[in-house]
Amino acid sequence: MPFIPHTDDDVGKMLAEIGAESIEDLFDEIPGELRIKSLDRVPEAVSEMEIARLMQDRSRMDSGALNFIGAGAYEHHVPAAVWEIATRGEFYTAYTPYQAEASQGTLQLIYEYQTMMTGLTGMEVSNASLYDGASALAEACLMAVRANRAAKSRRILVAGALHPMYRQVAEVICAAQEIEFIDLPFCPEGGHSALQALDEYGGEDLTAVIVQQPNFFGVLEEVDAISDWARAQKALTIAVVNPTSLALLTPPGEWGAQGADIVCGEGQPLGIPLSSGGPYFGFLTTRQALVRQMPGRLVGRTVDLDGKRGFTLTLQAREQHIRRSKATSNICTNQGLMVTAATIYMSLLGAEGLARVAGMAHRRTTELCTVLCELPGVERVFNRPFFHEVVIRLDRPIAPLLDMLADQGVFGGLDLTASHPQLGNALLLCATETKSEADIVRYRDLLAEIIGQERAA
């Protein structure tokens, strides 16, 4: 809240009403040895006017850069109406619909969100929602183990070009469940999963196969072949997708002969600003046959005794409603405000608007890659189609170059030398509909100047 409304007199009356002498009495159950005596690094309190000035100064330090970094969090234009509506009191303070009969507006919004997400992914059921894309993948893996009872090994194949942070989060969350992740190599020429690597596991006991589309490098995978191969092995297909790309690409529900089984990903591109890393939200959709193993909330539509339409939480197999050992999920936050914004965003853009956003993002990335690869010592790494991210290689270390670009107000991309050293001096670039031709020319000219200065030196 923008200010604290309670006066000392108000606080005294409330404490007297509950029989407490001070606010400290409310925390007397915390042992003294565990309580912090002072906060040495917290500065003295300042006035409202001074704190407003401080925050304005800080915000100016965090603005104005031209951003070409993607890697899972993307800078899209968010129409002003999205957060103008989402921050209305009816939505902004409505967190969790525990009393369903009193939360019809919130429940209807979640129901509409679920409907949009199933349409976007080509699946039959959607939850609402999870922390972020990485934890959504972890939940999808746990769900696959529960759902695929034909598999006994708890082994999951992971496409080599999966986002490395998603891979790490999934392993940490699933470690206690004794789930084994097996990494597949990616093709050094194309940047996609090497299909011949699947042959090594043909006929083995596998729970699932994870494939990302587009993958971490922005490259499009051969998802039809991977999905069909997984089904032939009686393994489930877990799809990790960028929701914006689905406005143009085949939805996971239509991959191969029968489609993917579980679809998850990061919902941030759907109307959520970058916000220095969050909060974002994860989404998860699946087939009707697997709905009872799906984590998170599910809102259903029904009718009351008078035949009037109503909405309710259904299949609530979460730890608030069931014994912890029986719960399908122990992550309790549903990121309801982010889902609200995403629902408004998708409603405003519609299918045609979302396709225009995706098409422009692809076009801008293609333009960026083309002009940069005309510079000496710059080349494209992979030869396969991409969406709105692409990897280039330079003839010099990436980190110093990015520092020099940042000094000029350009965030030049993500350095891949730590996560994928086999690619050499590789740089992951991203452009969205927010980038203009002038922005791309500015990047090209700055990079050309830096390269020229280094060659001259």
Per-residue pLDDT, 48: 84
Per-residue pLDDT, 120: 98
Per-residue pLDDT, 202: 94
Domains along the sequence of the chain with CATH: 66-73+351-456 (3.90.1150.10), 80-345 (3.40.640.10)
457 residues of the chain, pLDDT tens digit each:
466 788 999 999 999 999 999 998 999 899 988 888 888 888 888 888 998 899 899 888 776 789 999 999 999 999 999 999 999 888 887 666 666 666 788 889 999 999 999 999 999 999 988 899 999 999 999 999 999 999 999 999 999 999 999 999 999 999 889 999 999 999 999 999 989 999 999 999 999 999 999 999 999 999 999 999 999 999 999 999 999 999 999 999 999 999 999 999 999 999 999 988 889 999 999 999 999 999 878 899 999 889 999 998 887 765 556 666 677 776 656 688 899 999 999 999 999 999 999 999 999 999 999 999 999 999 999 999 999 999 999 999 999 999 999 999 999 999 999 999 999 999 999 999 999 999 999 999 999 999 988 666 6
In the chain the first and final C-alpha atoms are separated, in Å, by: 55
Please give the single-letter amino acid code of residue 4: I
Per-residue pLDDT, 335: 81
pTM to 2 decimal places: 0.88
Per-residue pLDDT, 325: 67
